[in-house]
Amino acid sequence: LDGLRQQDAEAVTTIGDASSTGTASQREGSQEQSRTVRDEQRLALTNEGSVGHPFLCSRPCLYFAAGQCANGAACAFCHLSHTKRAAHLDKRHRDILRQLTMERAAEVLLPVLQEKVLAVDDAGLCRGAFAALACACGVPEVSPVFRPSRSERTLIAGLTSLGLKCVMSTLRRTIVDNESVAVAADELLRQLRYAAPQSDELSP
């Protein structure tokens, strides 16, 4: 009888060890899979269009999502996931913007852009680049007492719903024939892309 009890105890121990080994193996497999996903996401960031995701990257690459992007690291579009479609100005907002002089448009756009820059660059690393852009636009200092008209407030509400890069692109399209604005905007965007916090998708 004692021999049978000993055999039963050994059998239970063996099953328990096998179960523990299986659980540990599953856990290690899950951790390895998570590491692989993160590595793939970091690899995706090596292409130019993904830098600054999700605030400052380019539009999503349709070919990458289908596994057919032939440009790889040279692709100018984002290889990471985007949860929602980017907002755009509607016809009413665009009409208001077209009616403004370039100087007034800059006075309307720059405070909105400044708020979005500060939201991404809370350490103020890009303050000098933003100041250079404002000077290039003919607005050396963004006024804290800026008083927009009623139609301008409507435009500002539309601009506020846009992403940072979209506001900057709107500024560049509005202040035309000004190479210094284009250069200053490119430099601000370059600095912001590396000052912006990493996407949660890449958290360890």
pLDDT in tens, the chain (204 residues): 555 455 555 554 555 555 555 565 666 656 666 555 554 555 445 687 887 777 788 788 889 888 899 998 888 888 888 777 767 899 999 999 999 999 999 999 999 999 999 988 888 889 999 999 999 999 887 776 678 999 999 999 999 998 888 899 899 999 888 899 999 999 998 888 777 665 444 433
CA 6 centroid distance within chain: 63
Virtual torsion, Cα 68, 74, 76, 81, nearest 10 deg: 50
Which amino acid, 202?
L
Q: Which residues contact 143 (CB under 8 A, 6 or more apart)?
A: 107, 111
Whole-angstrom distance, CA of residue 140 vs CA of residue 96 = 24
pTM for the structure as a whole: 0.66
